Chain A
Amino acid sequence: MKNSILVNSVRFISLILAQVLIFNNIDFMGYINPYPYILFVLVFPFNANRSLYLVIAFLTGLTIDMFGNSGGIHAAASLVIAYIRPIVLRLTFGVSYEYNAIKLPNVTFYERLIYISSLVLIHHLVLFSLEVFNITNIIYILKKTLFTGIFTSILCLMFNILFSSRQE
């Protein structure tokens, strides 16, 4: 238990710092900034207390908002993916999730890809809708969601594979 708190705190601080100091300054092709900090929300222990998880996801987003002066858009987007994560888990991993038997380091690459990219796309859709805040720019929102989503998904997958030790 102690170990889990320590691991998650270290992950939180390092992902926030990486996001704020490196990934917020990429501006690939003028407007594409990946948001790999949501990996923290994605790999948060699956059996954790649900209410605690929602509050932590909200605070994660709010920290990014504080650094980026973006109001509450990251907080809202992180909260949404935290709330719908059980549904996505059930859809991607099927029954093994119901028995609490699932551990992210042990799943196949394909399942991991589906799980990460679907949540990333939902997160980015909420994020950019709130950022642009104008329904007439829907094409711009979708374009930004798609391109940034691909970028973020690749980064999240890379980090996830690099930093996860396979447990038998």
Chain B
Amino acid sequence: MQQIINFLIRNKNFLLFAFLFCLSLVFTIQSHSYHKSKFINSANFLSGGIYESASSIQDYFHLKTYNKQLLEENARLREKEARLYTITGSSDSLSIYDAIESQFRYIPAKVLKNSYSKTDNIITLKAGRRDSILPEMGVITSQGIVGFIEKTSTKYSTVLSILNTNFKTNAKLRASEHYGTLEWNGQDPNIMTVIDMQEQAPVKIGDTIETSGQSAIFPKGIPIGTIEEFELDNSKNFYTLSVRLFNDMTSLGHVYIIENTDKNEITTLQENSIDEE
């Protein structure tokens, strides 16, 4: 007994080191699998508050870019509205919107902290449970997809960026219904890859890739990027595509969070059918 205590006292620094090192390894491994709960994240009042005050200063320098993006988005929406007007032929084009109840609700939010140079990137937003933000909601900008909500606190939330090796979603060609899996290899923040695209798909360089709407997170048809190059994989059955993103992930100012109001209904339905199997 005496010897054990002596041993502990003699090696207390090494034991302390080993304990703390294991603890940090646990945190690290948790951060590599996104659905585990995390203790250490930036959606808390201290880091959120510091990022908020820093970003309110930086905002002034970005006003010009934000204005330009808003103008472009406005122009695009106006064009869409005009097209809808010609199709319906109704002078009151808004009435068509009133008739349809939208499945998706868009909540604007400000980016407090963006990151893109690491292998697993996380973005911090100034919007939390107070603004009815919940985990697994999609995040987009007017140009394309950004990621989905990972953690929320009362006032802040973190986003699992598309530039994260844990991120995966379905993507399809705009021209046809062939789809594959969109993921990131952890290197260039402008390039993503789509794997497992059927060999029959009419793939052309320069074609647009968009979200497929198969998951309950993103609605169908949100732009992702254009095909830069493609090749058949080893099995010769599937294409692997390199996609250049529309979104400049290195400069994000304001984003939209997508709430799918039918999500509960969809997931309950899917769970029920799995139970029955």
Contact = CB atoms under 8 A, between A and B. Distances in A.
Contact of A54 (B13, B47, B158): B13
A31 B42 contact: no
B20 to A, nearest CB: 5
A71 interface: yes
Nearest to A50: B13
A83 B54 CA distance: 34
A89 interface: no
A138 interface: no
Contacts of B198: none
A79 B16 CA distance: 10
Given A30-B189, A58-B24, A67 B42 contact: yes
A21 interface: yes
Contact of A75 (B27, B46, B50): B27
B247 interface: no
B17 A79 contact: yes
B221 interface: no
Interface in A17-63: 17, 20-21, 24, 27, 30-33, 50-51, 54-55, 58, 61-62
Interface centre among A27, A65, A67, A140 (most CB of B within 10 A): A67
A48 B44 CA distance: 32
Contacts of B26: 72
Interface string B224-255: 00000000000000000000000000100000
18 contacts: A17-B50, A51-B13, A58-B20, A62-B24, A66-B46, A67-B42, A67-B113, A69-B31, A69-B41, A71-B38, A72-B28, A72-B40, A73-B31, A75-B24, A76-B25, A130-B25, A137-B186, A140-B187
Interface of B: 12-13, 16-17, 20-21, 23-32, 38, 40-42, 44, 46-47, 50-51, 54, 113, 115-120, 122, 124, 158, 186-187, 189, 250
Interface of A: 17, 20-21, 24, 27, 30-33, 50-51, 54-55, 58, 61-62, 65-73, 75-76, 79-80, 83, 130-133, 137, 140
